[in-house]
Amino acid sequence: MANKSQKIVDQSNVKDLEQIKKDEQSGKRRGIAGKPITEGVPHFESAPSEHLIQGDNNSFIILGRDRPGNLYSGYGGRGATQAGRIDLIVGLDSANGPRGEDKIANPNFALDAARVYISQKADIDRYMGLAEVPGQAPPGRSTIGLKADTIRIHSRNDIKIVTGRSRIEGGKEKLSTGGDNETPGTISLIAGNYTDDEPSFGFSIFNPLQILGGTKKKLQPIPKGDNLSQCLNEIIDAIQQLSALVGDNVSMIQKMDLALATHTHAIAPLPIPPFPPVAIAPSTYTPITAFIQTKTVSSIIARQLFNKNLELLKVNYLNENFGSVYINSKHVFTT
């Protein structure tokens, strides 16, 4: 007796959780060698104006308007124009675990496994829940947002991270909104997604038992290596000058001490009337006094010059507004 032929069932779109369990028990659709596999995929809630390209394994490409989350979110949810968006998502709602088509899900930067968000008009820092940086990310700007458990950028040669307008012929590059791009912008390297001021404590160098408290900025400018190196070299030179001044003072004290130790006065005999004049030996203290007076004046002048050099060090390297070789970057910051 001939075997009855079984009807071939198209399983390419099977996403029901019960069917998934049955297929796992029967060994079907294991996905070996790139063959179809049964897995839970939530139902993507698309907007009427969106064009959705959906793969079989929880991967999506969405062409629409700015929309980081539900249908009412973003500039697209408010009905704005000039707010086009390309959204690439893998692992929609994956943080909540496997889901079947009974689960309706919207995009969510916090829940989706990985996402590349390209928008003509967006508030990307707010969408992604990023720590605030003064002067960064004004609202309604074009953006590219990347979010995943890990992100790698690997170049076999060079990597450039550049802010500000490009060098183009025939004029200045404008912003995507048509406005002038006048500021160079900043680069922030933030570990931990936290930029609020944090407590600071330490010990006083003048009183080790005294604990100093207060707050300090979490996000700080990165030092510029060449300027910092030049600053440290000049500080070392200044310390060497101070050492020389201290050495001169020690030398003067030694000579003065020696002069005082060897200084003597002649003792005159008791006078007999009618008290003839007594000759006193000249003091050896006079030459050393002249030496000390000369060196003292020289030391005072050197000290005044030294103090001026220290003030110039502060102006040149430690003053953000006036220093031409300020040691900190004005555009690159890190935590």
Assess whether 44 and 110 both reside in one domain.
yes
Burial class of residue 70 (count of CB atoms within 10 Å of its CB; 0-12, 13-18, 19+)? middle
Say how many domains are in the chain: 2
Assess whether 51 and 178 both reside in one domain.
yes
Q: Which residues, including other chains, have CB under 8 Å from residue 125's CB and lie 6 or more apart?
A: 132, 136, 137
Assess whether 132 and 251 both reside in one domain.
no
Assess whether 309 and 175 both reside in one domain.
no
Half-sphere exposure at residue 85, Cβ-oriented, CA atoms within 13 angstroms = 36
Highest mean pLDDT among 16-25, 53-62, 197-206, 240-249: 53-62
Assess whether 140 and 245 both reside in one domain.
no
Assess whether 43 and 178 both reside in one domain.
yes
pLDDT of residue 268: 62
Instruction: Tell me if 298 is assigned to some domain.
Output: yes
Instruction: Tell me if 114 is assigned to some domain.
Output: yes
The model's pTM is 0.70
Assess whether 175 and 43 both reside in one domain.
yes
CA angle 95, 101, 107 (to 5 degrees): 45
Write out pLDDT tens, residues 113-123.
999 999 999 99
Assess whether 23 and 142 both reside in one domain.
yes
Instruction: Tell me if 270 is assigned to some domain.
Output: no
Write out pLDDT tens, residues 140-155.
999 999 999 999 999 9
Cα pseudo-dihedral 270, 275, 281, 282, rounded to 10 = 140
Q: For residues 167 and 9, which has the higher predicted lDDT (pLDDT)?
A: 167
What residues make up the domain containing 304?
A: 225-262+285-330
Assess whether 240 and 177 both reside in one domain.
no
Instruction: Tell me if 214 is assigned to some domain.
Output: no
Q: Which residues, including other chains, have CB under 8 Å from residue 306's CB and lie 6 or more apart?
A: 238, 241, 242, 245
CA angle 163, 164, 170 (to 5 degrees): 140
DSSP character for 94?
Answer: G
Instruction: Tell me if 268 is assigned to some domain.
Output: no
Write out pLDDT tens, residues 164-174.
888 777 677 78
Assess whether 29 and 173 both reside in one domain.
yes
**Over 80: is that where the pLDDT of 12 sits?**
no
Tokens of 83: 């707010």
Tokens of 180: 């002038």
Assess whether 66 and 176 both reside in one domain.
yes
DSSP character for 144?
Answer: E
- Best CA proximity match to 71, nearest among 107, 35, 34, 42: 107
* Average pLDDT over every residue of 254-272: 68
Assess whether 44 and 173 both reside in one domain.
yes
